Structure 1
């Protein structure tokens, strides 16, 4: 929890950890923790430890999380499983969780809308006493239009999706996706992620050299950034999507292992720098999103909030060539200072850049501070 607090984490999603043999709806036991994960007293200890650090705990109760027949087993079982989920929600909320996460929310909302309304009501009732309660949904959809429609129809507080699915990044599509969702919803409803329990870790989905770039992207978009444990250190998947997390970096290592550890510490230091800045700057937390420039390999946007310093985020996905970003926006000053950079040798923090001729090296990104001048 100390480590998560240092990263400015505000919410922790745990699980699924309930007993759910794959594809066996009859054996599903929502209110019983799998022995592989621990026990109820240990889980309550996690909630208490998180609360002391101001971190909310959300429990993933996706029913068939280990099966292949979908998150709700089959279409014939949805009603029965949803009914059983209702009592489990009451149980876990009484045990102190701050919210619930569910996969396949569109299936449940479409097939049994009355039960979905009951589930929402159980979670959201009493929010006057506990305003932190949240209902998180997960969808496999990668279409901005579909995700937007689901946000409206399901009524979830946040919807985690594949709209930014990487591999072969397309900044033009990124820009269109972000703009579409931002234009149609309050940013308090927007969640941004790359990877997850099913997809794997960030560093296994993107070019290793671009990990910091994607950290900066997710942490400066309007809305809530969602990371998997270990994304802050560039943790890679191996034989499993659940590799062992390296919490302790004090062990003495030699050779290649030392180089790997140094790289992981570099990722974590950069991640902390971004979250530290985000926690202090209203423009990055709440500010408007203004798209300034995008191409097949670059993206530039501005975050603006009232009478506060503004921040310009610029990204170059190009693998081999430097890009020159020309932003002929009358509201921009000619020069500004670098707040953060993925390559501090090329763009040192505090150095001045020409915004009419901004140069970024291959795979490089930067956050630039534009002081409020009235």
Structure 2
């Protein structure tokens, strides 16, 4: 009995193995077929499962509630795939694929062909893309504090104090100037000032009270790292009422040669241009020669510029100077000629007239916060940096539309008078009914900057900058 008990499990295992080897026999005896892997088909690999109904097994399958599955061989799959129905289906799918691909390609070409062409960017130099910060002469005395001016279309109020080559805090001040989004820094004059014969003035020297040439070179390097170009004020008599000491000196060929030599020396020292005040006192041919000397040498691919200053205020004389000056940029006090309360009917045409000459015109003002915000907008918006200006009827205010190609449009509305304007309607086919208020010279932005152009309120002497998207 003990031997039978010990051998019983072994006998069961052998019986199971024999049943696996003889499945048909197990089926004939009426017992269930033991589980096990299906035998491989003659073709070798299995690529799928199909039902194979067998007449002799239908009864057993129906009784057991299922069908037996077996795999197709590789050769059988290849034969099935080569059958006419499958070959035709593949040809149709391939045709539809290429037809769809060609259709999408044609649609893309049509979209590109019908899309509006982007306007090519006009050539612009660095001094046309941003303002210039000026440190006046008194800012360079050790114990004096001056107040700078910002030149250009973007205007602002600079910090107290100037930028001196000897000033140990120059790096921090350059950081502040660069934050105003300006492109250039106007320094000087740096040459020694004299009250004697102007013909003996040394324009090539650096006033020792302002530092050494090494100090100046370090200043140029510091400005370059901040993305600022340095322009040198080389006006012979910058502190006097007459920048050129009178007609006799202004027309002296020997003094012209002295200025020409000084220009060459300072160009070799690395300045990016010069400012000369009172250019209306000089012959245009002389100014043109100095401009050619300044611009012909552009190290590191950075253009150099000759900036002219003028005391002219009358619009006709100023426009004539812009058309004949031969300099890259002119600074003039033309806004003062408009008076403290100019009518809008004359303000808009006069301002637009100064935009047409080839030589750009710049001016100065003292609005630091506005300058910073306008500078940030100008960097991003092409309509402000490149766009044309068009007069928009808005009496008794003055309005201008700045636009460039498909970029966002900007509308400038100015109240030139000392009266509050309520419910001003600025309506034109070029304008939408509503716009977004971006800046104000007198107020902070409201919580909802969307305003109705048919009912604007402007404080006395307030200016508004509004924008709206381009629509074809």
- TM-score normalised over the length of structure 1: 0.73
Tell me the residue number matched to 1:329. Answer: 428
For residues 324 and 15 of structure 1, do their structure 2 counterparts lie closer, same or farther at Cα, with a shift above 3 Å needed? Answer: farther
User: In the TM superposition, what is the alpha-carbon distance from 1:48 to its structure 2 partner?
Assistant: 1.1
For residues 6 and 77 of structure 1, do their structure 2 counterparts lie closer, same or farther at Cα, with a shift above 3 Å needed? Answer: same
For residues 281 and 117 of structure 1, do their structure 2 counterparts lie closer, same or farther at Cα, with a shift above 3 Å needed? Answer: closer
Aligned partner of residue 192 in structure 1, secondary structure: strand
The count of corresponding residues between Structure 1 and Structure 2 is 295
Distance in 2, Cα, partners of 1:322 & 1:286: 30
Tell me the residue number matched to 1:93. Answer: 267
Tell me the residue number matched to 1:118. Answer: 289
Task: Encode CA deviations 1:71-115: one digit per residue, 9 max, x unaligned.
Answer: 1113222322211011110100010000011012122225xx3x4
Matches within 5 A, 1:74-223: 74-78=246-250, 79=252, 80-109=254-283, 113=285, 115-127=286-298, 130-165=301-336, 168-172=340-344, 173-182=346-355, 184-186=356-358, 189-194=359-364, 202=365
- Decide whether the 8 Å contact of 2:287 with 2:327 is kept in 1: no
For residues 59 and 350 of structure 1, do their structure 2 counterparts lie closer, same or farther at Cα, with a shift above 3 Å needed? Answer: farther
Tell me the residue number matched to 1:274. Answer: 374
User: In the TM superposition, what is the alpha-carbon distance from 1:294 to its structure 2 partner?
Assistant: 5.4
- Decide whether the 8 Å contact of 2:287 with 2:326 is kept in 1: no
Distance in 2, Cα, partners of 1:190 & 1:325: 32
Distance in 1, Cα, partners of 2:395 & 2:197: 48
List gaps (5 residues or longer) in structure 2: 1-173
RMSD (Å), alpha carbons: 2.2
List gaps (5 residues or longer) in structure 1: 195-201, 203-230, 234-267
User: In the TM superposition, what is the alpha-carbon distance from 1:319 to its structure 2 partner?
Assistant: 3.1
User: In the TM superposition, what is the alpha-carbon distance from 1:156 to its structure 2 partner?
Assistant: 0.5
Distance in 1, Cα, partners of 2:457 & 2:178: 35
Distance in 2, Cα, partners of 1:130 & 1:89: 19
- TM-score normalised over the length of structure 2: 0.58
Tell me the residue number matched to 2:76. Answer: none
- Decide whether the 8 Å contact of 2:441 with 2:462 is kept in 1: yes
1:358 and 2:456 aligned: yes
- Decide whether the 8 Å contact of 2:278 with 2:310 is kept in 1: yes
- Decide whether the 8 Å contact of 1:316 with 1:360 is kept in 2: yes
1:61 and 2:234 aligned: yes
For residues 176 and 22 of structure 1, do their structure 2 counterparts lie closer, same or farther at Cα, with a shift above 3 Å needed? Answer: farther
User: In the TM superposition, what is the alpha-carbon distance from 1:18 to its structure 2 partner?
Assistant: 0.9
Distance in 2, Cα, partners of 1:38 & 1:59: 15
**Structure 1 or 2: larger helix share?**
2
Matches within 5 A, 1:280-295: 280-293=380-393, 295=395
Distance in 1, Cα, partners of 2:331 & 2:349: 18
- Decide whether the 8 Å contact of 1:142 with 1:161 is kept in 2: yes
Distance in 1, Cα, partners of 2:422 & 2:208: 53
Distance in 2, Cα, partners of 1:303 & 1:190: 16
Distance in 2, Cα, partners of 1:286 & 1:193: 18
Matches within 5 A, 1:305-320: 305-320=404-419
- Decide whether the 8 Å contact of 1:328 with 1:356 is kept in 2: yes
Distance in 1, Cα, partners of 2:255 & 2:307: 18
For residues 324 and 35 of structure 1, do their structure 2 counterparts lie closer, same or farther at Cα, with a shift above 3 Å needed? Answer: farther
Q: Which residue, 171, 189, 204 being the options, matches 1:31?
A: 204
